Amino acid sequence: MTRLTEQQKQLLFDYCLGITSEQESALAQEIIFSDDEAARLVASIKASLSPLDAITPEECPEELAEGTIWRAQQAVRTGKVQLEQLLAAEQHRKAEGGFWLSVFGRLATAAVFIIVGTTAITGFKMASTYAHHRYWQTQCEGQLAGLFGAISNYRADNNNQMPNIAAVPGSPWWKVGYQGPENVSNTRRMWLLVRQKYAKPNDFICPATKPDCTFQCEPKDYNDFPNRNYVTYSFRIGCPKSAGDTPARRVIIADLSPVFEKALQSAPNPDGKLIVKISDELLNINSSNHTGRGQNVLFCDGSVKFLKARHADISLDDIFTLRDKMTYEGTELPSSESDAFLAP
C-alpha cells in the first residue's frame, strides 16, 4: 500500500461529490479497489455527506448564487468562532462542574459540530455545483468562438460567403447523418468546414455534454456528420427570400435545440418521419446541453452570449421556433430574416 498523493485525495473527494468525468470516475474506482487507505477515506467522506441525502435539491438562480455562497462562507466562519468559544467554556466547566454538566456540554459541542459541518458541506456543494456549471459554460463559449474563427477563415477563402449548399425547397432539414447525394440536413453545410479542414469533427460537440465518441474516419468520405451524436449544436436556417444581408447581431449557432431533441432521438434513422407538436413544455425549456439553465449563442459578429431565455434581443423572438408555427414536419422555413430559427 502506498501513501495517497494530494492529487489522488482530491480526485477521491470529487468522486464522492459526483463531479468527476467518466474517465476520472474509473480511475477513482481503481484506486479505491487497490488501496485500503483510499477505501477508508472514501467511506469517511461519504459518511460525512450522508446528511445531505435528506435535502431536496433546488436550482439556485445564478444571480443569487454568488451571494448565497458568500453568506454560507460567513456562516462557516461565524460557526467556527462560536465553536471555539463553546469549546473553551466546556473545558472550563469540565474542570469545575460534575458529571451531568460535562455530558450537557459535550452534547452542545456535538450539536455545534453538526451545524457547522452541515453548513460547510452545503455551502461547499453549492459552490462546487455553481463552479462546475460555469466551467462548462465557459468551455462551450470558447468552442463557439473557435467555430466563428473557422467560419471566418472559410469566408475569407470563398468570396465572403457563409458555408452553404444548394438544397431543394421542402428538403427535410432534420436528417442529420444522411449520407446520400441529396443535400438535405441543415448540418450538411457546416460539415463543409470539416471536409475542407477549417474545423475538426469534435468542434461541433458541446463540451458540457461530455461526449464519449471520437471521430476516427476520413471526413472526405462523409457528406454529413456521421450521426446526431457528433453534432450537439443547432444552426440557423435562413429565409429563402433573404437578400443576403447579415445584421451584426444575427444568431447563427446555439446549443442544441430542445424543441426537436426528443423527436430526433426516437426517430429510427434518417429515413423516418418527423412530427413535432409544440406544447407549453417545449416552449419553455432550454437546451439540455447545460442542464436546462440556458444556452450559449454565437452571433455573426463573433460574440458569444449565454441566454437564460430563448430570445436574443428585445423582440422576444424565440430562436428555436418559427412565428405562429405549432406543428413541424422538418421542412419548414422562416418567412423573413427577422424570424430566427435554429434547428435541428
- Among 17, 33, 54, give the residue marking a domain's end: 54
Same domain for 33 and 176? Answer: no
Question: Is 128 a domain residue?
Answer: no
State pLDDT tens for residues 99-117.
Answer: 444 544 555 555 555 555 5
How far is 237 from 251, CA to CA, in rounded Å?
A: 10
- Among 21, 37, 54, give the residue marking a domain's end: 54
Cell 477505501 belongs to residue = 39
Of the candidates 255, 242, 256, the residue with the CA atom closest to the CA atom of residue 162 = 242
Question: Is 75 a domain residue?
Answer: no
Question: Is 150 a domain residue?
Answer: no
Report the SS3 class of residue 328. strand
Which pTM does this prediction carry? 0.63
Q: Is the pLDDT higher at 213 or at 323?
A: 323
Question: Is 314 a domain residue?
Answer: yes
3-state helix, strand, coil in the chain (%, to 5): 50, 10, 40
Q: Are 316 and 310 in contact (CB under 8 A)?
A: no
Residue burial 39-61, b: 16+ Cβ < 10 Å; e: rest: eebbeebeeeeeeeeeeeeeeee
Same domain for 166 and 46? Answer: no
Domain hosting 208: range is 162-343
Using CA of residue 249, residue 337, residue 167, residue 224, what is the dihedral sign?
positive
- Among 36, 54, 72, give the residue marking a domain's end: 54
Question: Is 125 a domain residue?
Answer: no
Question: Is 29 a domain residue?
Answer: yes
Question: Is 313 a domain residue?
Answer: yes
Provide the pLDDT for residue 323. 92
How far is 158 from 243, CA to CA, in rounded Å?
A: 18
Per-residue pLDDT at 27 exceeds 70: yes
Same domain for 325 and 176? Answer: yes
| pLDDT bracket for residue 238 (50, 70, 90) | confident
Same domain for 50 and 166? Answer: no
DSSP class of residue 321?
Answer: S
Report the SS3 class of residue 295. strand
Question: Is 101 a domain residue?
Answer: no
Total number of domains in the chain: 2
Name every residue whose Cβ is closer than 8 Å to that of residue 291 and which is 6 or more positions away in sequence.
133
Report the SS3 class of residue 291. coil
State pLDDT tens for residues 149-183.
Answer: 999 999 999 999 889 888 877 889 999 988 998 88
Same domain for 191 and 332? Answer: yes
H helices of 277-334, in order, are 280-284
Provide the pLDDT for residue 255. 96
CA dihedral 235, 241, 244, 246 (to 10 degrees): -50
